Amino acid sequence: MLRLLSASALVVALAVTTSACSDGLSPRDEVPLFPIPFKAAEGRLQIYDGATSTFTPLFVKGMNMGIAVPGTQPGDLAATEEDYDRWFSMLAEMGINTIRLYTLHYPRFYRRLHAWNMAHRSRPLWVFHGIWLDEENPTSNLRDMQSHYDDNIVESIDCVHGNNYVFERKGRGHGEYDTDISPWVLGWLVGREVFPGEVSTTNVLPGARASFEGRYLSIRDASEVEVWWTERLDRIATYEAERYGVLRPLSMSSWPTLDALRHPTEGSSGAGEDTQQIDLAKLDTTRYEPGYFASYHAYPYYPDFMSEDPSYVTERDAVGPNSYLGYLKALRAHYYPKPLVIAEVGVPSSWGNAHYAHSGMNHGGQDEVQQGEDDARLFRNTYDAGTGGAILFAWIDEWWKRTWIVDELAMPRERYRLWHNVTSPEQNFGLLGFETDPPDFGAFPKTTASGRVREVRLAADPEFFHVELTLATPLADAERLVVGYDTYADDRGETVLPDGTRTTQRSELALDVTLPATADLKVTDAYDQLSVWFEVQRANRRPGEYRLGTGRAYRSLATDGGPWNLVRWQNNEEHGSDDGRWEFPATFQDIGRLRVRSPGDDGNQWAVSSEPSAKVHVRVPWTLLNVTDPSERRVLDDDPATPPRETVISDGFRIAVSLGGELVETARFAWPTWEVVPRWRERRKASYPIVAAALKTIPDR
């Protein structure tokens, strides 16, 4: 075992083996690694300077490094060496100083990071490295995961030090780890968001402990879960000290659901977001100089108490009311002098909004420009609250992700990776997006007519169903245009469009457009999915009770002159405190009020674009058309009396266009299905330069 000296007394020179010779580096570059290269103290992560024998505080401006490009699952870890090189350059360019990994990547990440940092020694990219805790079910106990997790600890530390070979396995990094990035690892930020059910299950296990005395860390007056995590952190410190002669700051991932603060507005029913806690503020690090830092995945819109707690809602920032800033200040005060790092924060550029925020920084509903402004605001909030920094979620849009609000609208889940759900918040957090080729309107025969509407062309891509109209004269303000969508089954749907036009086909949805600014997507009453997620939860998927009582069939039915409803989502239900003092109403998003593209509008959320050339381009996201998987042409066709959520394969769409008393109807368009994502390319979203500009105004040190 190596005896550790003070940081100013010893420099350990590690011979780092790397394959980076192509970058002009020797295959065995020596990188100085101090026994305590970093520490967590006085509210900040701090970096040791060997030249002056001092520690310099760092404000973390971080990025969470998810790498699931289109067509892949997270376990594929599909990023190439070229991707990493390009991304590291872009991250550094925009002012990011720290990368966070949730889990072990393939060896190519470590090779390329080493090469980047050796070439940029004065401003390297620091790393928070994770050790992933597998997810079993929401009521698992942590002890049952312990043996496997302790193996992950050893494996991950050895890999980070470039001293491991991991045999091939599915869904996790493997290969020869021969590149040492440990000189740049700010700390171990391990685990994941633990579920409240896992906490309660673990805390009542036989022999539950209230204290732990490790080699470096100890805790008293604790729960079994707090003891378990202290023991794991001590194991990390001990193994790295004994094997490699270095100690570094430690943390475990948490979230507001498990914070130690009390929130009077939060009830115990429903999600129960204030019923359990993990509080490592009581962690004794007297014998561990690098220290502990708290890390929270804390977003401005969740849980409900983030926007409702009376002690937070009086807070303001330069933009306006901001309960999130109030929460940050309270959480930081609880942990100080231990630093608080907000390890996940951000807003998505999705059409759908899964939760409203008091600050206006919602869980979706922002376009890319607003996303950038909100992300910049969040970085400033974490700085102004005196935290140790923030790690933005996320670097790229990841198509595989699920969001609770579309769980009943998009399926099967294993095919998410093949198409991009622009309505789903979790798929749209990135500063980098991915786009496919422009829609091919020539892939299907055009429909021609001799009146005002001359041509109707249809197309499909992994994001939208497209309709392109060629008119004899441009669409004028105050003119009403209606586009009906017959999405499946000739014998079901509505024959009367919202403007009163009677059609020969039956439509399930209709887009009602009046320039310059109105584009309302409407759905037949039977096929309306409003509140479907909440009905599923109430019924608890018991046969005979499934989604009953709504009056909706959740499938298309034949009607003639039935009602049309604006497409709306319910994104919260009535809730309140157990004592009845605090009560809050259900909330809804009028997601069917779509955007008409105005001149100069380069945003990503327009649905209707009317050009001076007398062309009208209409695009609607698949989920808003009740298409559950466009790659298979799968649409919703549910039986509300049975627990499964049923779908069918559509034989294509028919379109009805009503304008000025004219009606044009198309044949059914069966777009080609796909098993491989069509050709795609990476792009910087409009949010990227906005965040980059903001980061440059926030000092690193």
The 10s digit of each residue's pLDDT in 376-430 is: 999 999 999 999 999 999 999 999 999 999 999 999 999 999 999 999 999 999 9
CA-to-CA distance for 662 and 319, rounded, in angstroms? 48
Q: Is residue 701 part of a domain?
A: no
| Percent with pLDDT over 70 in the chain | 93
Which residue, among 454, 504, 538, 431, has the nearest Cα to 655 in the 3D structure?
Answer: 504
Residues 673 and 539 in one domain: yes
Number of domains, the chain: 2
Q: 175 pLDDT exceeds 60?
A: yes
CA-to-CA distance for 389 and 342, rounded, in angstroms? 6
Q: 40 pLDDT exceeds 90?
A: yes
Residues 540 and 398 in one domain: no
| Percent with pLDDT over 90 in the chain | 87
Q: Please tell me the pTM assigned to this model.
A: 0.94
Element (H, E) at 38: strand 38-41
Q: Is residue 16 part of a domain?
A: no
Q: Is residue 58 part of a domain?
A: yes
Q: How confident is the model at residue 46 (pLDDT cuts 50, 70, 90)?
A: very high
Length of the chain equals 701
**Are residues 656 and 663 in contact, defined by beta-carbon separation less than 8 angstroms?**
yes
Q: 644 pLDDT exceeds 70?
A: yes
More confident residue, 139 or 196: 196
pLDDT at 478: 95
Q: Is residue 23 part of a domain?
A: no
pLDDT at 452: 96
Q: 154 pLDDT exceeds 80?
A: yes
Residues 445 and 350 in one domain: no
**Are residues 104 and 176 in contact, defined by beta-carbon separation less than 8 angstroms?**
no
CA-to-CA distance for 180 and 6, rounded, in angstroms? 22
Q: Is residue 238 part of a domain?
A: yes
DSSP-derived secondary structure for 546-575: TTTTS---SS--EESS--EEE--EEEE--E
Residues 537 and 622 in one domain: yes
Q: Is residue 344 part of a domain?
A: yes
Residues 242 and 223 in one domain: yes
Residues 287 and 190 in one domain: yes
* CB-neighbour burial class of residue 525 (10 A; exposed 0-12, middle 13-18, buried 19+): middle
DSSP-derived secondary structure for 182-207: GGGEEEEEE-----HHHHHHHHTSTT
The tokens for 294 are: 């708290």
Which residue, among 275, 272, 277, 282, has the nearest Cα to 258 in the 3D structure?
Answer: 277
What does the DSSP 8-state code read for residue 538?
A: H
Residues 383 and 455 in one domain: no
Which residue, among 637, 607, 627, 609, has the nearest Cα to 670 in the 3D structure?
Answer: 627
CA-to-CA distance for 567 and 529, rounded, in angstroms? 8
Residues 420 and 563 in one domain: no
pLDDT at 20: 36
CB atoms within 10 A of CB 138: 11
End-to-end CA distance of the chain: 35
pLDDT at 531: 82
Residues 545 and 689 in one domain: no
**What is the mean predicted confidence (pLDDT) over 226-240?**
98
**What is the mean predicted confidence (pLDDT) over 39-53?**
95
**Are residues 381 and 317 in contact, defined by beta-carbon separation less than 8 angstroms?**
yes
The 10s digit of each residue's pLDDT in 541-562 is: 443 333 434 557 889 999 999 9
**Are residues 490 and 505 in contact, defined by beta-carbon separation less than 8 angstroms?**
yes
The tokens for 13 are: 């020179």
The 10s digit of each residue's pLDDT in 69-98 is: 999 999 999 999 999 999 999 999 999 999
Q: Domain of residue 346: give its range.
A: 37-434+683-695
Residues 335 and 408 in one domain: yes
**What is the mean predicted confidence (pLDDT) over 662-674?**
97
**Are residues 663 and 657 in contact, defined by beta-carbon separation less than 8 angstroms?**
yes
- In three-state form (DSSP H/G/I as H, E/B as E, the rest C), the secondary structure along 7-22 is CCCCCEEEEEECCHHH
Q: How do 634-636 and 627-629 pair as beta strands?
A: antiparallel
**Are residues 59 and 43 in contact, defined by beta-carbon separation less than 8 angstroms?**
no
Average pLDDT, the chain: 92
Which CATH number characterizes residue 265's domain?
A: 3.20.20.80
pLDDT at 640: 76
Q: How confident is the model at residue 62 (pLDDT cuts 50, 70, 90)?
A: very high
CA-to-CA distance for 453 and 657, rounded, in angstroms? 8
CA-to-CA distance for 43 and 37, rounded, in angstroms? 17
**Are residues 265 and 305 in contact, defined by beta-carbon separation less than 8 angstroms?**
yes
Which residue, among 265, 267, 258, has the nearest Cα to 334 in the 3D structure?
Answer: 258
Q: Is residue 15 part of a domain?
A: no
pLDDT at 9: 30
Q: How confident is the model at residue 236 (pLDDT cuts 50, 70, 90)?
A: very high
Residues 43 and 180 in one domain: yes
* CB-neighbour burial class of residue 25 (10 A; exposed 0-12, middle 13-18, buried 19+): middle
pLDDT at 570: 95
Q: 496 pLDDT exceeds 80?
A: yes
pLDDT at 538: 59
**What is the mean predicted confidence (pLDDT) over 451-461?**
97
Q: 15 pLDDT exceeds 50?
A: no
pLDDT at 270: 67
pLDDT at 31: 60
Angle between helices 687-695 and 81-94 (to 10 degrees): 50
Q: Is residue 650 part of a domain?
A: yes
More confident residue, 18 or 643: 643
Query: Looking at 546-697, which runs of residues are DSSP E strands?
Result: 558-559, 564-566, 569-572, 575-576, 583-584, 587-589, 595-596, 606-610, 615-621, 627-629, 634-636, 647-649, 654-659, 662-665, 680-684
Residues 271 and 414 in one domain: yes
Q: 169 pLDDT exceeds 80?
A: yes
**What is the mean predicted confidence (pLDDT) over 104-126?**
97
pLDDT at 174: 96
pLDDT at 549: 41
CA angle 526, 510, 604 (to 5 degrees): 115
pLDDT at 17: 32
Query: Looking at 400-526, which runs of residues are DSSP E strands?
Result: 432-436, 447-448, 453-460, 464-471, 480-486, 493-496, 502-507, 509-514, 518-524
pLDDT at 560: 97
